[in-house]
Amino acid sequence: MTRSIALSLVFHSVMIILTAISLPFMMRTPVDLPPILSVDLIQITDTTNIPFAAKAAKTLEKLKKEEEKRVVSEQAPPTQKKKEKPDRIPLPEDLNKEKKEIVKKKQNPEEIKDEIRQASEFEKEELFDPDQIAALIDKSKEETAETLKKDKKITQSNKKTSFASALTLSQEDALKAQIFGCWSLPLGLPYHKNLLVRIKLRLKPDGTVLRSEILDHARMNQPGQGFYKVLAESALRAIRICQPLRVPPTGYEKWKDLQLNFDANEMLKG
């Protein structure tokens, strides 16, 4: 009995000492974490019209306007400097040339890049002329401002040419978004099977369906693949409900044969 009391006292006092030492550490104020900002990654194209990107479009317009303002303001200083220095009288002509070149840049994406390269070489040669440098700096600002604006256009045009389909990214997004809304996924589908059904369509210019064909038709009646029929029917239903499809206003020849690959795997695997 006494032994246990003594042991108990010893252990209790050890515990109390330990807590006395450690607890003050626990009472330190917590570190202030910066609030978590949610960032939405948006694909930037001029004509993306995915419904939920409405806000993004607005903010993009705002950004463009701001940059245009910036460009304008950066163009201003060089003109002022030219007035001050009589040596620089020829510069207004250069300026005009620059302006013309800038105008040209807007029309020809590739040329911008040349200009940038030229500018850097120019800088190297004229390193010791402070006035020239000042002009250069202003010029580069303009150029970067312009290139920023054009980078977006560059990407768009690049994708236009490299994209295998006749639809731009935004047009594809629009069509996808439309069909996503129409497709009622049959909820009873099995998990680990091939849930891909490909439907080939011949469209009319207004987006209505002239003909539809289910590829892999043989699967429809295969034993053990009963779900394929159900899946294919749901896809056909989606297409029918969605008519007229959201097709581009031009380029009918390019997209009149459309193949929709319905894949339920992503949504069902979860």
Partner 1 sequence: MVSLTNLRKFLVVVLAGIALTACATQGKKGTNIAGDVYTGNDTVEYLATGVKDRVFFATNKSTLTTASRDTLRKQAAWMRKKSKLKFTIEGHADERGTREYNLALGERRANAVKDYLMTYGISGSRLNVISYGKERPVNSGSNPLAWSQNRRSVTVKAE
Partner 2 sequence: MKKIFLFIFCLFIFNNSAKALVEVDITRGNLDPLPIAVSPLYVESGSVDIKQGDKIIKNVGEEISKIIEINFKRSGLFNPLKKDSFVQKPDIAHVKPRFEDWRLIKAQALVTGKVTVSEEKLRVEFRLWDVVAAKEMVALAFSTTPNNWRRVAHIISDKVYQRLTGEEGYFDTRIIYVSETGPKTQRYKKLAIMDQDGANVKYLTLGNELVLTPRFSPKNQLVTYLSYFRNLPRVYLLDIETGVQEVVGDFPGMTFAPRFSPDGEKIIMSFAKDGNSDIYTMNLKTRVVEKITDHTSIDTSPSYSPDGKYIAFNSDRSGLQQIYVMRSDGSNVKRITFGKGLYGTPVWSPRGDLIAFTKVRKGKFYIGVMRTDGSGERLLTENYYQEAPSWSPNGRVLIFYRETKADSDGKGFSAKLWSIDLTGYNERLIETETDGSDPSWSSLLSK
* Residues near partner 2 (CB under 8 A): 164-167, 172, 175-176, 179-189, 200, 226-231, 233-238, 240-241, 253-255, 257-267, 270
Compare residues 65 and 200 and give the one whose CB is closer to partner 2. Answer: 200
CB-based contact 49:55 (threshold 8 Å):
no
Compare residues 17 and 267 and give the one whose CB is closer to partner 1. Answer: 17
* Residues in touch with partner 1 (CB under 8 A): 4, 8, 12, 15-16, 19-20, 23-24, 27
Compare residues 153 and 176 and give the one whose CB is closer to partner 2. Answer: 176
Residue 39 touches which member of partner 1, partner 2, none, C-beta under 5-8 Å by kind: none
CB of 22 to partner 1, least distance (A): 10
Compare residues 91 and 260 and give the one whose CB is closer to partner 2. Answer: 260
DSSP 104-117: HHHH-HHHHHHHHH
CB-based contact 197:262 (threshold 8 Å):
yes
CB of 4 to partner 1, least distance (A): 7
CB of 10 to partner 1, least distance (A): 13
CA distances from 94 to 100, 101, 102, 174 (A): 9, 10, 12, 45
Q: Select from 156, 151, 165, 74 the least CA-distant residue to 105.
A: 151
For residue 142, report the phi and psi dihedrals to the nearest 5 degrees.
-60, -45
> Residue 174 contacts by C-beta under 8 Å, 6 or more apart in sequence?
48, 49, 50, 246
CB of 30 to partner 1, least distance (A): 16
Compare residues 56 and 220 and give the one whose CB is closer to partner 2. Answer: 220
Compare residues 19 and 59 and give the one whose CB is closer to partner 1. Answer: 19
Residue 165 touches which member of partner 1, partner 2, none, C-beta under 5-8 Å by kind: partner 2
Q: Tokens standing for 137?
A: 């700096």
Residue 188 touches which member of partner 2, partner 1, none, C-beta under 5-8 Å by kind: partner 2
CB of 24 to partner 1, least distance (A): 6
The region that residue 211 occupies, defined by phi over 0 for left and psi between -120 and 50 for alpha, beta otherwise, is beta
Residue 73 touches which member of partner 1, partner 2, none, C-beta under 5-8 Å by kind: none
Can you tell me the distance from the alpha carbon of 141 to that of 78, in angstroms, rounded to the nearest whole number?
11
CB of 195 to partner 2, least distance (A): 10
Can you tell me the distance from the alpha carbon of 233 to that of 226, in angstroms, rounded to the nearest whole number?
11
Q: What residue type is assigned to position 108 of the chain?
A: N
CB of 55 to partner 2, least distance (A): 20
Compare residues 150 and 176 and give the one whose CB is closer to partner 2. Answer: 176
> Residue 251 contacts by C-beta under 8 Å, 6 or more apart in sequence?
166
Can you tell me the distance from the alpha carbon of 189 to that of 191, in angstroms, rounded to the nearest whole number?
6
